[in-house]
Chains A and B, each alone.
Chain A
Amino acid sequence: MASLYTDFLGIKSPNPFWLASAPPTDKKINVLRAFEAGWGGVVWKTLGSQVKNVSSRYSSVDYGGHRVMGFNNIELISDRPLDLNLREIEECIKLFPDRAMIVSLMADNDRESWHEMIKKVEDTGAHGFELNFGCPHGMTERGMGATVGQDPEIAAMIVEWVMEKATIPVITKLTPNVHSVVPTGRAVVKAGSNALSLINTIQSVTGIDLDTLVPNPYVAGKSVFGGYCGPAVKPIALKFLTTISQDSITNKVPISGIGGVTTWKDAVEFMLLGSTSVQVCTAAMTHGFRIIEDLCEGMENWMDEKGFKTTKDFIGLSVNNITNWESLDINYHHIANIDQEKCIHCGLCYIACEDTSHQSINLDYGKPYNKYTIKEDECVGCNLCQLICPVEDCITMVEHRKAPEYLNWIEFKEKGLPLNDH
């Protein structure tokens, strides 16, 4: 049986699933419920500068009948008294000593505030820190959160202050509200950060009430940019994660992956692209802590099937499978095939290809069912028809190489090979 046991810079947890710094981790009652459910660890909701939260706080995007494809919040860091948080953190550690307890911090922008905070949190027995340089709403107006993460120099300066004092591992959480996370990632690693986590939420407007004309979430007739997360952001998170995993400086430290992790498959994908642990929030907020059971069982079953004994056996295995476009093999070619036995004649492949792709599908009219077949000579192998086909394995992409040898764009150009004539 595969083991999910995770050691992140000495921070030990029975599985790689941590609850991200967020409302689910802002007080003892929630955290104990999470640990009882089986979560490997938590990142306690950010402590630091004094704040007051507003009502309402969340909004979401539904899609195709599913609630909360994307989730948005304007909640600030913890608005509870610091002493209460510290006492509860200590109690949780004592009750569940085998779980990871990382505390998220966002102190005022001066060395003393950070030092003072670090001392107080270390006294609780916490196992690590996560520096919140990513929160994109509210705190940014005070020069904190994402404002720090967007400026590599300021981020590095704060990390230096932290490293002067901290005796437990320090993870720096990066904001995706930048064109690249690598500059800040490099700067904080150079400044001594022991690890990185990403992504934080993405600035967003989730929608507007078409009666009141006020965007959501609604606060007394106004709204504000919020932080977007949930299943919708996973592909963006995976992309940012890959850039960190491929950079020669940032890939020297462990990574905790965040951003729309909903299922065990999502978590495996984050780990294949270099995450040692993954952090979850929206999925728990939409379904409760009980999802941890399938997260663990699904990952274990997959590992058993693939022969991976520990998570280390597969972490990072897909990092090098993402390359530059210019290195792709131009001689690779595949063509769609429609299994006529499985086809239900919905015509979705046809209309998509005909209107928006390469007119590669034949239509033979019938009543009531039309017949659809692929024009193999026209098909460019784009996948569109396969992606929209509602029937499993009805449309498959069948390999038809243009030539046996590997050929990339640079070689193609050098050889002066002919371009398309249509």
Chain B
Amino acid sequence: MAIENNRLDESLYAENFSDIHPPFDSYSAALVEANRCLFCYDAPCMKACPTSINIPKFIKQISTENIKGSAHTIFSSNIMGAGCGKVCPVEKLCEGSCVYNLLEEEPIAIAKLQRYSSEMALDKNWKIFERKILPEEMKRKIAIVGAGPAGLSCAHVLAREGMDVTIFEKEKRGGGLMTYGIAAYKVTPEFCEQEVNYILSIGGIDVKYGKELGVDFSLEELRRDFDAVYLAFGVGLTRKLNIPGEDLNGVVDAISFIYDIRTHDFKEVPVGNKVAVIGLGMTAIDAATQAKRLGASEVSIIYRRTQNEMPSTEVELNIAKLDGCNICWLSAPNEIMGVEGKVAAIKCDVMKLGEPDSSGRRFPEPSGEQFVLDVDMVIKATGQTPYYDLVNEYGLENKNGKIAAGKDGQTNFENVFAGGDNVNGGKEVVDAVQAGKDGAASILKYLNILVGTKNIQI
């Protein structure tokens, strides 16, 4: 057996990649859950949301059958509220801080309720926001690089405030990692397209697809042709393992692997029979579970620390476990072994935890023991690397490739702002949406469009 596609029949693909968190199928079902909500004051869930969605309010609005109002509440704070309802790690955000946890009761199904209102808004194409009509002399032209969550969020606020926005996107579709980098059982390409179209429907946002910074245009050109620039081009591929055998046929990058799944029919995506996934973040889980769901017979997640230190949430880990993935704790690859240029096995050090490192987590050290796993595919998911060369080429101040931008998002060029993964190195979609809002507010302030940010939901 080796890496091959078309391992399953159509019905199995459909089953394996159906929505992992099905929505409420009726208003009555949503109402039961909405009525459980206590409508907390200064609610912990709201404080735990990076975009500060007024969660008690939008849930109350479901219970009063004001679904349009509920969608407005969500989208005012988070224009990607529908997608976040599908992909947010709510167990460590809103739902994780729901007061019901303190009663040892199930927290309110906030994400599911959020999907109820926001997906209805998308399905019915409710026009919730009006674009401000400004006199010509007040209009400004703003360029945004990247149509991912940060770029779209920034664009929507700016368009709402009457600005003319142009987004340059290197891919053929918008949505960024939402469209290209998240497990297909969480969001479908159709949904991502619908969400992007909904965001763009406010008007005033022109997206130029297939245009890449540094290839099709330069930062200088943007600075010259636009009043302000917002950089939201995200991060690149997984960082290198720097171990022997990394160039063998069968070693792939998790981002590329997921990208393939999101851009092809499932049956066209090749997967190994025995797969090793290196790393244990959210992307590692998405890669491992999808390898299994594409028909791999064995998937092993190789992680150098223990469950206490893992970046993934327990909820996500459980998805992998339920899919039958093995977890090799305290294991670090030190060589990928090949036969005839193809991956045949991976050799790992058995690790032990030493003193805490700069992240506060106990640092793993080789114990001296080793083991070998027979595998025919290795997926690297050890965190994405910033576009180091690009930012240095343009003279953007940065820290290891992450653009240096303050809370206001301003870079060392006064009309260039940045936010999202290209600043923070790679966080959740919801963090990027907030970064986009912050960036838009800073740009408007810079352009003297608004004094302060009181008209913008931050």
Hey, which bits of chain A sit against chain B, CB under 8 A? 64-65, 344-348, 350-351, 363, 365, 367-370, 390-391
Contact = CB atoms under 8 A, between A and B. Distances in A.
Given A348-B39, A391-B103, A65 B44 contact: no
Interface string B103-143: 10000000000000000000000000000000000000000
Given A344-B102, A391-B103, A370 B39 contact: no
Interface residues of B, number: 21
20 contacts: A65-B31, A65-B32, A65-B34, A65-B35, A345-B40, A345-B44, A346-B40, A348-B38, A348-B41, A350-B42, A351-B41, A351-B42, A367-B47, A368-B44, A368-B45, A368-B48, A369-B44, A369-B97, A390-B38, A391-B103
9 shortest interchain CB distances as A-B pairs: A347-B41, A65-B35, A368-B44, A351-B41, A344-B99, A346-B40, A344-B102, A368-B97, A368-B47
Interface of B: 31-32, 34-36, 38-45, 47-48, 63, 97, 99-100, 102-103
Nearest to A64: B35
A327 B63 CA distance: 43
Nearest to A65: B35
A66 B38 CA distance: 15
B324 to A, nearest CB: 35
**Interface of chain A, helix or strand or loop or mixed?**
loop
A234 B311 CA distance: 55
B47 A346 contact: no
A350 B31 contact: no
A347 B42 contact: yes
A103 to B, nearest CB: 41
A363 B38 CA distance: 18
A391 B42 CA distance: 18
Contacts of A345: 40, 44, 99, 102
Contacts of B103: 344, 391
Q: Which of B40, B42, B43, B47 has the most CB of A within 10 A?
A: B42
Given A347-B43, A390-B38, 13 more contacts: A64-B35, A65-B34, A344-B103, A345-B40, A346-B43, A346-B99, A348-B41, A363-B42, A367-B47, A368-B44, A369-B44, A369-B97, A370-B42
A350 B47 contact: no
Q: Which of A64, A346, A350, A351 has the most CB of B within 10 A?
A: A346
A369 B41 CA distance: 11
Given A368-B44, A368-B48, A346 B38 contact: yes
Contacts of B42: 347, 350-351, 363, 365, 370
Contacts of A344: 99-100, 102-103
Contacts of B100: 344
Nearest to B34: A65
B40 A347 contact: yes
Nearest to A350: B41
A422 to B, nearest CB: 25
A208 to B, nearest CB: 14
A385 to B, nearest CB: 12
A365 B43 CA distance: 11
A350 B40 CA distance: 10
